Structure 1
């Protein structure tokens, strides 16, 4: 019978996946019940990488890895005669590109003898090597005396099931200081998530500095201290990239446009947005404050192009943009005399179909601007980059092919799990990012509109749509809108529930129920706490300490 120092020690290798979160996807996994006792400061690293840039990346990855290990030490990390541990990491590709085609696979082998322990990592890219070190940190826990314990012998092969494993963070309704955004990125890295979808502007505020159009922030930010400068955004993108995460910025439009767009008439640019003073707002907008961009004003497109240019310049050459597309009310445009007259002069009638065509032309014109910007900024790109839009009336399966190209537009669906939209769009060849409304909207239950809170079990058990061509389902995102969230509640709303979705995105576990993985999940939550992330409690501590005693409490007979 094996004897372990503590429950955490046991969990390192009890069960097929031990304490590894998310579960590995490869056919081979082997975890020994033996341990090695070590001091994290005594680990030696040997890195084999094909370029100076990849070696520098792995150097930073190593620093972050050791920092996380030190947080596992219950008292101090010093071990007078600890095991000799050598980590050898081999990366084959010199590419630092992080997109939907990036290889994030790795193989991990830990072998121990009387003379020491070898941790061998093989990965195609630096991002796979980063994930491997994250897995190694899951195979470590603090010793009850001092120092750390590591599973002595391990074999794991692993790769993500989905290329897009995202978190939408809204920092426009309530401003979120960047140190809290960085903490969210730390939680994502601990969960092997790889996309921060930054919903940085909305009708309520425009905190993003656009150097070519300073009026947007001047008129749109809550105050001069509630802003994100261009320099800060670049630093945040670097911070995320070193943790295997790309940042996709969303510029909401044509709806959700008010703060930051009011100044056009004062500067001779006519109305950049319309319906700004609508009262009552409900007939014209999805929410207050009301406002939609003016699709017949060329000056509005020039301002958008300046925004897109800065987004392109701040991001990596391969990065794309989210162009919004959610919440459009054509009644707003139909109630604006300037738009009505312009449409009639161009041969439109004022039917719902005509306004949808106007809406589609808005996105097509912005796509052309995005393409032009990227051709000039990154002439070596092999092909135009697709952009992302929310599902809407424009993505109705019976009409979408008349409005939006399969090759150029990726659709992020925000519908309930029983809705047929995902299946119908996949049947028509569209690529999807899935955000299931009744499972992965983490702000639900707090918004004051009677929405239902989604427990981590609901988040975990929500399944992705299936498709014969797996490449069409790029992956999924959990969403945290900030109507009722600021830095004081951010972490408890996100964690550990976002991590439950992270295993769905990485592993796509088949026929796996929450009760089958809850012990690993409890350990994952404790790991977040050790790293300083204030993840909410999901069960009485008794249930964590007394495994198997609470199933009836949660699941009945």
Structure 2
């Protein structure tokens, strides 16, 4: 077998070098406290560096890496300069799909490298040639909770040749390895070109399988370019799940060709929608960045505008209490709206929605079904629902409405399975195990009665309670799998409304999840009541990066010990066109350890 040698077409980066530490008359050293400090006289027996960013590459066990690796990490102290045009890639022979993916992520990588190099990169000279070898041990090309994302990276220098070897069980591990390689280099602000460490060995794998960011695109429409920029930041931070909360009672921007009424009645405007080709493009864009997309169609609550056309088209009320006032009597947050579970036409429409979602996703992908904050006051005020409950022997107590709520989820799951063909698969010998779907924690998932309503082999619960709440532990003890979104650390809309508090990146970083096999991982949540494309970046970053390191490495050290690495990561995010929130005065960045 002959490996392919790929020399990539390179483009000049759009961003110049940062001037944060551009005093080339000074030298920098990494001191005993793993801080990069300026000196004006070369010390004996110590490595000195021309800039803080170069010093940061090699200072401390993890240098400038974010998130920090979980395995053996060795970064050499010496560096060399090179021109990105002298980078070559060697991709081991594999399936067409694997090779195509590796070629694509190599092109993404080289574009980012040129971006780091800056405007004068064409004038850079190379001390050495760099060959990057990519080796994948399997041809698995879909990412899920069982995907092996581990990788090993070696930088080996011999004469004027530097070989970088990145190997992984899957293409996604190799992608993470390339992300790490990019963090082992920096622009040489005292010259032209890039600097890369001469030697390194890193063995790395994520601690949690689910490392997600939820973004709500219903309360405020988020343009595609802003979604993609967010995905770029997620990739740089090694997230692997984008939870797309695409619908809510406010708007329904997902275009479904078989039912155009959803966006006609539910979108904020004809150009504020996500057509199928756009959704598919976003999913493909995310996959090249190691991210799976989980689409959420919120139901039966948080469903109003977009579902309010049924009566006009002879299907009755698909949703009830839509935009009803006074809203506090019928929903948790305006505008009100809940699906009508007793309307026999509703589940035919739900089937069309699920069929469309499945057409966009890989066959093995799951779905988020929402499922929280059902307001019994809405259903209890709807005569059609009250009559149905009476006819079926149900009263109007909480337990009766819980039963109606559970029946809705059971019917929805049955439709999801049927559309995936799992009803047929279940008759095979041996039977195919149906996949799980996700719902939010709620009154229905209370540990005291969840087993009566929701099967633990079919539902994953995304909890969104405070860190002191015992419900997650109780659900884990019952055998349910969880995705955790700690409300008092990872809710990024908090601090701007009501009695909520703003949570800093340190709070996000120090939030620990239970080390239990039932915890798949967690998600930071970006609800957009007070967020749109104009403030999206600063509300997410760098706090999401703090969550990313928690989920990747589950560090046993406090946030304070990661500050300097996060300073550097914030600069990387800026290179990607992201405008993160500042986390310290410039003085504190240039004088590591002086503002503790």
In 1, the alpha carbon distance for the partners of 2:324 and 2:520 equals 38
- What is the CA-CA distance between 1:74 and the residue it aligns to? 4.0
Deviations 1:213-254 (A, max 9, x none): 110111000110111101100111001011110110110111
- Indicate the residue corresponding to 1:389 in structure 2: 439
Structure 1 residue aligned with 2:547: 501
Superposition TM-score, scaled by structure 1 size:
0.96
How many angstroms does 1:112 deviate by?
0.8
Distance across 1 between alignment mates of 2:447 and 2:594: 48
- Give the TM-score taking structure 2 as reference length: 0.90
Contact map agreement 2:86 2:126 (CA 8 A) in 1: no
1:52 to 89, 96, 111: 96
Contact 1:73 1:148 in 2 (8 A): yes
Give how far 1:80 is off: 2.8
Contact persistence 2:229–2:576 (CA under 8 A): no
Cα pair distance change 1:540/1:531, threshold 3 Å: same
Q: How does 1:37-48 map to 2 (within 5 A)?
A: 37-48=81-92
Which residue number corresponds to residue 554 of structure 1? none
> Aligned to 2:327, what secondary structure does the other structure show?
coil
Q: 1:513 to 1:200 in 2, by over 3 A?
A: same
Paired position in structure 2 for 1:120: 165
Helix, strand or coil at the partner of 1:156? strand
The one of 435, 445, 452 aligned to 2:501: 452
Between the two proteins, the alignment pairs up a number of residues equal to 545
Give the C-alpha shift of residue 349 in structure 1. Answer: 1.9
Aligned to 1:202: 248
Task: Spell out the pairing of 1:223-372 with structure 2 (5 A cutoff).
Answer: 223-372=269-418
The alignment status of 1:487 with 2:536, answered yes or no, reads: no
Aligned partner of 1:412 in structure 2 is 462
How far has the Cα of 1:514 moved from its partner? 1.2
Q: Residues 240-289 of structure 1: CA distance to partner in whole angstroms, max 9, x if unpaired?
A: 01111011011011111111111111111011011125321112201111
Q: Which residue in the other structure is 2:29 paired with?
A: none
Name the residue aligned to 2:24.
Answer: none
> Does the 8 A contact of 1:98 with 1:318 survive in 2?
no
Measure, in 1, the Cα distance between the counterparts of 2:478 and 2:500.
Answer: 31
- Using the alignment, how far apart are the partners of 2:275 and 2:351 within structure 1? 18
> C-alpha distance in 1, partners of 2:166/2:384?
63
Question: In 1, are the aligned partners of 2:485 and 2:522 still within 8 Å (CA)?
Answer: yes
- List per-residue Cα deviations over 1:23-48 (Å, max 9, x = no partner): 1011x111101002111121111111
> In the alignment, which residue of structure 2 is the partner of 1:170?
216
Query: What per-residue deviation string (whole Å, max 9, x for no partner) do you get for residues 437-467 of structure 1?
Result: 0000011112x21311110000100101222
Paired with 2:60 and 2:318, the residues of 1 have a C-alpha distance of 59
Q: 1: CA distance between counterparts of 2:86 and 2:383? A: 72
1:34 counterpart = 2:78: yes
C-alpha RMSD of matched pairs (Å): 1.4
SS at match of 1:282: helix
Give the C-alpha shift of residue 83 in structure 1.
1.3
Shift of 1:210: 0.9
Partners of 1:241 and 1:499 lie apart in 2 by 19
Q: Is the 8 A contact 1:49 1:92 kept in 2?
A: no
Q: Distance in 2 between matches of 1:83 and 1:416?
A: 53
Does structure 2 conserve the Cα–Cα contact (< 8 Å) formed by 1:415 and 1:437? yes
Question: Post-superposition shift, 1:378?
Answer: 10
Residues 548 and 230 of structure 1, relative CA distance in 2, 3 Å threshold: same
